[in-house]
Each structure stands twice: as C-alpha cells, then as structure tokens.
Amino acid sequence: MLDRKFILENVEAVKLNCQNRNVPADVDRFVELETARREQQREVEALNQESNAVSKSIGKCKTPEEKAAKMEEGRAIREKIAGVRQTLDALEKELDQIQRGIPNMAHPDAPIGDDDGSNLAVAYGKTPLPTWPEGFKPLDHVELAEKLDLIDFEGGARVAGAGFYFLKNEAVLLELALEQYALSKLVRAGFTPTTTPDLAKNDVLQGTGYIPRGNETQIYSIENSDLSLIATAEITLGGLLANQTVDAEQLPMRLCGISHCFRTEAGAAGRASRGLYRVHQFSKVEMFAFCLPEQSEALHQELLQLERDIFDGLEIPYRVVDTATGDLGGPAYRKYDLEAWMPGRGGYGEVTSTSNCTDYQARRLNARYRVKGEKGTNFVHTLNGTAVAISRALLAVMEMYQQEDGSIVVPKALRPYVDFEVIRPKN
C-alpha cells in the first residue's frame, strides 16, 4: 500500500494515477477520514497521557481518601478513552479498506492506457518466427499432446475437474528439465534456490497483495483454517521478510523458488485459454528480490534480462511488452511481460511477467532494512519475475518444436536434462 502521509501530500497525483490505472478508489474520502483520524489519534494520546499521570500519582498518595479520589478520576478517563477509541477504530477500518484499494504509483514511462490494448511491445527475442513447410499446418499443443500421449486432460477433469490435467511420459521429464534448466541459470546469476510451501497464511497473501476470499478471488482457501493455496511463489518468498528488519548489507537478496501454483480462474474459458494455457494448477520457478530503493530499477532490468536469456536459450521467439497503466496489478510500479510465439494459436501468449513493486508490498508486509550507523529503518523494495511457468513454457516448446512427421524435437538447451532428443508417437 501507499504511505498515508504520501497520499495526503500528493492527492492530485494519486487521483490521476488511479484514473490512469482504471481503479475506482475514493481518494477524497480517504483524505477526509485520515484527517479526522489524526485528530482523534491526538485526542487519545492526550487522554492516555492524562491517565498515565493519574496512575503514577496513585502510588504516592498518602491518605486512603486521596487515593480513592484519584482512582475515580482514572476510571473516568478510561471511560472517555474507550469512547474516542471506538470512533478511532471505525475510522481506521474504513481507511484501511480504501487504502488497500489504492494502487501503487506507476513508473512515469509506463504506457498510459485503460487495458492491455495499450501495452507496448518494446523488444523481441533472438529467435525468428518459425517458417513451416509448404502445406503444413502446425497443430496446437492439445492435439500434439493427444497424438503423443503427453497430457491427459480427461483424466484430470475426472479426478479434479476441468482445468486440471495429468502430465504423462516425456512431458513429465520435460517439466523437470525446464525447472532444472531455469534453476541452473538462476543459481549462476547469484540466486538462492528454494522450494517453498504451497500453502500460506492469509496474512501473507494479503501482504503480497492477494485477496484470499471474496467473489473475484483467484485463490483457493482451505476450509477451517487461515491457509490458502498459493497462486505463485511470489507470495511465500515475499512473506519471508514479513515483519523483519534486515541489514542493508544483506541487500539485494536474490531468491528463486519452485512451487506449485493454484488459481481458481473463475469465469475464464474459451479458445484462447484452451489446454494448458489457463489451468488451475501448474509448477513454476519464480524469481524474487528484496533490495534497497535505489537498486530496484536496475534489478528489474536484470530480472527481465534473465527471462529473456531463458527463452532465447530455449530458442523460442517472443516479444517484450511494457504493461500499460490500466493493466498493471495493484502493487506494480512497472511490469514487463514476455509473450512467446504460440503456433497453435498463431499469435503471442504471455509466458512470464516481472514487476517492480517498489515499497508497496513491503509496506504491507512490514519488511524493512536498517543502515548501519544510521537511526531508524526504511521499507525495502520488492521485485518478482517468472523464470519459467511450466504449463505455458511447455505449451510453447511443444508447439514450436513440432515436426512435419508429428514428432517433437527437444530444445538443445533441455537435452542435458533428459535422455531423449525426439518425442515420437507411442505405439
């Protein structure tokens, strides 16, 4: 979330930002409530001061009568405090709700626009778009999976419902290969590899900007508990520093995590999301970084470059998209997506996403750093980026590497991790 003082001092900028991002937040109401809250807060503090003074004086009273009078006085103040506190709590509740709805400020260079139609393609990968032999029509991954017995969508639906699937045969080995391939690049780049919990406390979800319950939630929550299935390891990795203060020398912290990701994807269906493209569960290697404010922009470029290296290495064509203000998630200051070429749909589809969340997540998480020799603490900056989301990466690999004879060739970059070079129809 944004700093309350910042909102009060930059009302017009915050309102314009909400408008650019297409978020209907009542900033004026926020200002009104926060102003009132501050007043009430001062009132409570003054009363507390009074009450503290009375309490302290009781220990020094000489006569029982004097003592009884003071006690009565203290009791009266306490009642008064309870009253003010009640209005304060009500203000706080409404304020918090509005404050959570106000998105992060956007990077001044982020393209302004209402939705993904305004996203800007800013770069392309090293690999050219594929050219197919005369008369050959590339299949989509669902058809390929069927022919090569790589994915069982029907079985997934029977067991867990639509949107679930079993990977089978070489697809399983490719999943592990993609993870290892990405991980080895990240470890070389100085990232600490982790496997994270697949569940997290709702507090942590909220801290990273995910809303566990409610109509439009993407999150599966566990009944009779305060746990939810995570939608990304961003949640667990971000939670690592919740309510922590680290020394500035420890920053930047580059982490990556393998986890399963679970998403309800309520109401999302249709041709564009067929097969593996939009599913309820997939595996992902996620990058995450905590850093000093002055490091975050460079680190964001670093994460983007790693994503590009990974897909250039796989020799899959892609474009880099600078996300428009209206299409940014609440915590993002700036976001780049990699969209890989997917022959089955004859178009680009999102495969990675990297965001610089500046101090927006950190403020909610209460993740701070301390500079040695200086007084006080400050909020860290957080960044996240997809290294490889297996379902979509696998989709892109299958479709891009299909051959005229119906087989799929394994990308060179993955061959060190599997003991086959071509996937052929079983018999």
Partner RNA sequence: GGAGAGGUGGCAGAGUGGUCGAAUGCGCGGGUUUGCUAAACCCGUGAGCCCGUAAGGGCUCCGCAGGUUCAAAUCCUGUCCUCUCCGCCA
| In the complex, minimum distance from the CB of residue 184 to RNA, in angstroms, rounded to a whole number | 26
Residue of 194, 393, 396 lying closest to 287 (CA atoms): 194
Residue type, 137: K
Is position 196 an interface residue for RNA (rule: CB under 7 A)?
A: no
> Known catalytic residue: 370?
no
Cβ-contact 143, 395 below 8 angstroms = no
What is the number of other CB atoms lying within 10 angstroms of the CB of residue 363? 22
Nearer to RNA, 228 or 355 (CB): 228
Nearer to RNA, 37 or 141 (CB): 37
Report the residue from 31, 44, 112, 189 that binds RNA according to the rule CB under 7 A: 44
Tokens of 90: 């009500």
> Known catalytic residue: 263?
yes
Nearer to RNA, 59 or 267 (CB): 59
Q: What is the CA radius of gyration of the chain?
A: 27
Is position 17 an interface residue for RNA (rule: CB under 7 A)?
A: no
Cβ-contact 329, 335 below 8 angstroms = yes
> Known catalytic residue: 353?
yes
- From the candidates 21, 254, 278, 308, give the one annotated as an active-site residue: 278
> Known catalytic residue: 350?
yes
Report the residue from 244, 281, 295, 377 that binds RNA according to the rule CB under 7 A: 377
DSSP, collapsed to helix, strand or coil, labels residue 282 as strand
Residue type, 38: R
Cβ-contact 119, 111 below 8 angstroms = yes
> Known catalytic residue: 51?
no
Q: How far apart are CA 215 and CA 346, in angstroms?
A: 33
Nearer to RNA, 6 or 420 (CB): 6
In this structure, what DSSP letter does residue 249 have?
Answer: G
- From the candidates 21, 37, 254, 263, give the one annotated as an active-site residue: 263
Judged by CB under 7 A, the stretch of 34-42, 132-140, 266-274, 292-300 that binds RNA is 34-42
| In the complex, minimum distance from the CB of residue 224 to RNA, in angstroms, rounded to a whole number | 11
| In the complex, minimum distance from the CB of residue 265 to RNA, in angstroms, rounded to a whole number | 29
Nearer to RNA, 72 or 421 (CB): 72
Task: Show contacts with RNA in window 63-122 (CB under 7 A).
Answer: 70-71, 74-75, 77-78
The pair phi, psi for residue 259, each rounded to 5°, is: -150, 165
Report the residue from 35, 49, 86, 250 that binds RNA according to the rule CB under 7 A: 49
Tokens of 27: 């900033």
Nearer to RNA, 16 or 36 (CB): 36
The size of the interface with RNA (CB under 7 A), counted in residues, is 27
Is position 56 an interface residue for RNA (rule: CB under 7 A)?
A: yes
Tokens of 406: 């119906």
Residue of 166, 197, 188 lying closest to 259 (CA atoms): 197
Q: DSSP H helical segments within 247-316, as ranges?
A: 296-313
Task: Find where tokens 């020398």 sit.
Answer: 249
Residues that bind RNA (CB under 7 A): 5, 38, 41-42, 44-46, 48-49, 51-56, 58-59, 70-71, 74-75, 77-78, 373, 375-377
